[in-house]
Amino acid sequence: MGKGKMVGKTSADVPALIKRFAETQPAARISGVAPTWFDYVSFSPEVWAVAYPRAKACDVMVTGSVDHVAWRDQQVAAMQRNGWIGGSAVNAGNGDFWSVRYTKAGMDLKIEGLGNKADRKGVQMSWQFQQVAANRE
């Protein structure tokens, strides 16, 4: 996706959709701070990362992509080559919604999103990274 651009704390440079996304993620509740203190990184006009203070977590949001399911498949293939272990996907992408979980070295990752048949603008896919206790792998 190219290099990231650090946008910083909530500002006029962060679109309203991204702010709402950050406010509604589980890591937002764990961090216990107002969304105005989240850090945002834009990797392209379509991919945003949100880091949460005091929570060992990061969320990635994809929107505005022409083929987000193909992008997901490319990214997941690269992750699997790098040691991420995946569970079975629920509705792998051909339906309206899908989700899958991955783990690696004390990290949990939940990926969920819209399938190819979904007709909706907004958040097409989210990746929720969270550090977990090493003995929980």
pLDDT tens per residue, range 104-127:
988 899 999 888 776 667 888 899
Instruction: In whole angstroms, give the CA distance from residue 22 to residue 85.
Output: 26
More confident residue, 96 or 92: 96
Confidence label for 12 from pLDDT (cuts 50, 70 and 90): low
Position 83 scores a pLDDT of: 92
pTM for this predicted structure: 0.76
